[in-house]
Amino acid sequence: MEHPYLFLTSVFGLFGLEEWAAHHPHVTYMWLAMVILIVFGWLAGKSVSLVPETAQNVFEVLISGMEEFVVSITGEEGRKSYPLLISIFLFVLVGNLMGLVPAFYPPTASVNTTMALALIAVGWSHVVGVWHHGFKYIKHFLGPVPLMIPLFLPIELIAHTARVLSLTFRLFGNMMGHELVVLILLMLGGMFLAPLPVMAMGVFVALVQAFVFFLLSTMYIAGAIEEAH
């Protein structure tokens, strides 16, 4: 379903890129999410002081609270992966919340974005695994009995592929569904503010989905760090 009006598409239209931007709203709005995050990061890090003030306070609570949470799941080794995880969380959160602003398209409502994020998260968990266990990481895929290796290897490979797909489709499905419901209700009863309750629930959905994506990536990294079963 086509979005009725997109703000960034008209902005790109000023440079004669309207057709491209209309076909790739997830790309342009992903750039917007990146810009928002970079600006916020710059604002937070601009005047770091020992006694935190307003903006720094908020970011410190968010960042350090999440860091303790990640470390409580993965153990001390997971602290190195934390920058990636919090980036994923903040990016997905900003991307999801964009769906609630009129004339904005949530970049996470496109399967391209979520697939890229899931591939990065799961791929990184394997990098962490190889990094921690070296060549022995392959034991994670071989099961307990050596005789059963031909059976266990494809099973484990399928299970690990399912991780990528489940991350991809959970986020994509939720955001796409939310976007679609809002659009349909807007067309049917926009004059009576019909999409409002769904949009109110969308705040919750955006937060929960961002958190679930972050939590599952953390757990995959934790699974790669721990010893083979």
Partner 1 sequence: MKKETGKNLRELGYFASLGISVALSIFIGLGLGLWLDKKFDTDPVLMFVGLALGIVAGFSNIIRAGRKGKNY
State in angstroms the smallest separation of the CB of 222 from partner 1.
Answer: 8
Q: Minimal CA–CA distance to 95: which of 27, 20, 163, 197?
A: 27
Cβ atoms of 72 and 222 within 8 Å: the answer is no
Residue 57 in the binding site for partner 1 (CB under 8 A): no
| Angle at alpha carbon of residue 34, lines to 74 and 48, rounded to 5° | 70
* Residue nearer to partner 1 on the CB measure, 69 or 131: 69
Integer Cα distance of 109 and 180 in angstroms: 10
Residue 6 or 205 with smaller CB distance to partner 1: 205
Please name the residues in contact with 188: beta carbons below 8 A apart, sequence gap of 6 or more: 194
SS (H, E, C) 168-195: HHHHHHHHHHHHHHHHHHHHHHHHHCCC
Task: Identify which of residues 18 and 67 has a Cβ nearer to partner 1 in the complex.
Answer: 67
> Whole-angstrom Cα distance, residue 108 to residue 175?
7
Is residue 216 a contact residue for partner 1 (CB under 8 A)? Answer: yes
* Closest distance to partner 1 from the beta carbon of 78 (Å): 12
- Give the one residue of 36, 86, 111, 212 binding partner 1; rule: CB under 8 A: 212
158 lies in the site for partner 1, by CB under 8 A: yes
d(CA 59, CA 205): 22
For the chain, the distance separating the N- and C-terminal CA atoms, rounded to the nearest angstrom, is 46
Among 149, 159, 196, 200, which residue interacts with partner 1 (rule: CB under 8 A)? 159
77 binds partner 1 (CB under 8 A): no
Which residue in 4, 83, 102, 154 binds partner 1 (CB under 8 A)?
Answer: 154
Comparison of 23 and 79: residue with beta carbon closer to partner 1: 79
Q: Does 197 bind partner 1 (CB under 8 A)?
A: no
Based on its alpha-carbon atoms, the radius of gyration of the chain, rounded to whole angstroms, reads: 21
Stretch that binds partner 1, among 75-83, 115-123, 160-168, 175-183 (CB under 8 A): 160-168
Query: For every residue of 67-111, which 3-state class applies, written as one string?
Result: HHHHHHHHCHHHHHHHHHHHHHHHHHHHHHHHCCCCCCCCHHHCH
Q: What angle do CA 87, 140, 216 make, to 5 degrees?
A: 30
215 binds partner 1 (CB under 8 A): yes
Which of positions 90-149 make contact with partner 1 (CB under 8 A)? Answer: none
User: Going residue by residue from 6 to 45, which x/- string records binding to partner 1, judged by CB under 8 A?
Assistant: ----------------------------------------
Residues that bind partner 1 (CB under 8 A): 65, 68-69, 72-73, 151, 154-156, 158-159, 161-163, 165-166, 169-170, 212, 215-216, 219
